Amino acid sequence: MPGVSDGLVQARGLRKDSGDVHAVRGIDVDVGRGEVFGFLGPNGAGKSSAMRMIACVSPRSGGTLQVLGMDPYVDGPKIRARIGVVPQLDNLDAELTVRQNLEVYGRYFGMSRAAVRAKATELLAFAQLTDREGDEVEPLSGGMKRRLSIVRSLVNDPELLLLDEPTTGLDPQARHLLWDRLYRLKRQGVTQLITTHYMDEAEQLCDRLVVMDGGLIVAEGSPAELIGRYSTREVVELRFPLDDAPPVAELEQLVERLEVLPDRLLLYAADGEAVLAAAHQIGIRPLSSLVRRSTLEDVFLRLTGRRLVD
């Protein structure tokens, strides 16, 4: 394969069809060593399909894919021996204890009993689960199960970690604890591939990300680059009484871009306060106003639209 650097994942024109559904319709991805790379997109965008192909549990329908320099279709077991996978839904072994979950899983990688025992002790501490090691999995909280899933994927010291929506359904404390653990792994040089539809998570964790929609990549870059490219520095949100038609035409003169939502107007501009002052001057009196920094969420909604996808 031409141009194989130390890229851990390299996809060219990667496709996945299942029946008539074209889940992934030709994407190019390069993930370098030590990088934290994000797949963003609404439900059904093809993120999880892409992840499954990279995890060697879904044969591709077309294009090329190299993971750790090998072809997942041919060398699935060899690749899986060197990666870690955190699935979207926890699939912990409910019939085993917390510690046994780690040890049995480690044995599947061919590790010795002594090695898995030592590794389990280390990982339980990392996940702050040491005092629950003899408990069954079922009574654990959602955050604890998620942490256990994550450390389970680390049992083989993976070079590449695949995390499919790692924090969905967790409370804020649990999310922040998880982010901290993932950041430490990054510091240790573990390459991470993350899918998420939480923009704050992507901004927190990812060095680089792609936005997927309808099975295609619609944008690529660092969080800051994407905000710079697809949004403005600031956003002004204005609310008007529901019965009155908002003064869209007047406001459009003042800003780069304006978006009309059912309950408010969004004004995209470099300087939000200035826009607000100008609006006041021409006699516009909204019910309420808010000036905030532009986020990845604005980029995401712009690229993938506001319609509901399910």
Residues contributing to the site for another protein (CB under 8 A): 18, 52, 55-64, 71, 73-78, 80-81, 84-85, 87, 89, 91-96, 100, 104-105, 107-110, 153, 156
User: In whole angstroms, what is the distance from residue 235 CA to residue 34 CA?
Assistant: 34
To which H or E segment does residue 66 belong? strand 62-67
User: In whole angstroms, what is the distance from residue 160 CA to residue 71 CA?
Assistant: 15
- The residue (of 192 and 232) whose beta carbon lies closer to another protein is 192
- The residue (of 103 and 203) whose beta carbon lies closer to another protein is 103
Ramachandran quadrant class, 139 (left: phi over 0; alpha: psi -120 to 50; beta: rest):
alpha
CB of 108 to another protein, least distance (A): 4
CB of 89 to another protein, least distance (A): 7
Q: What contacts 199, CB < 8 A, 6 or more positions away?
A: 40, 295, 296, 297, 300
- The residue (of 156 and 294) whose beta carbon lies closer to another protein is 156
User: In whole angstroms, what is the distance from residue 212 CA to residue 33 CA?
Assistant: 22
- The residue (of 158 and 272) whose beta carbon lies closer to another protein is 158
CB of 152 to another protein, least distance (A): 8
CB of 74 to another protein, least distance (A): 7
Alpha carbon dihedral 182, 183, 186, 188, in 10-degree steps, equals -100
CB of 151 to another protein, least distance (A): 13
Do β-strands 234-239 and 288-293 pair in parallel, antiparallel, or remain unpaired?
antiparallel
- The residue (of 66 and 304) whose beta carbon lies closer to another protein is 66
**Cβ pair 37, 209 in contact under 8 A:** yes
Could you tell me which residues are beta bridge partners of residue 15? 25, 62
- The residue (of 86 and 199) whose beta carbon lies closer to another protein is 86
CB of 269 to another protein, least distance (A): 46
CA triple 240-242-248, angle to 5 deg: 50
Do β-strands 36-40 and 208-213 pair in parallel, antiparallel, or remain unpaired?
parallel
**One-letter amino acid identity for 269?**
A
User: In whole angstroms, what is the distance from residue 179 CA to residue 204 CA?
Assistant: 8
- The residue (of 160 and 251) whose beta carbon lies closer to another protein is 160
Q: What contacts 152, CB < 8 A, 6 or more positions away?
A: 92, 101, 102, 105, 123
- The residue (of 59 and 305) whose beta carbon lies closer to another protein is 59
CB of 93 to another protein, least distance (A): 6
For residue 228, report the phi and psi dihedrals to the nearest 5 degrees. -60, -35
CB of 300 to another protein, least distance (A): 27
User: In whole angstroms, what is the distance from residue 73 CA to residue 83 CA?
Assistant: 15
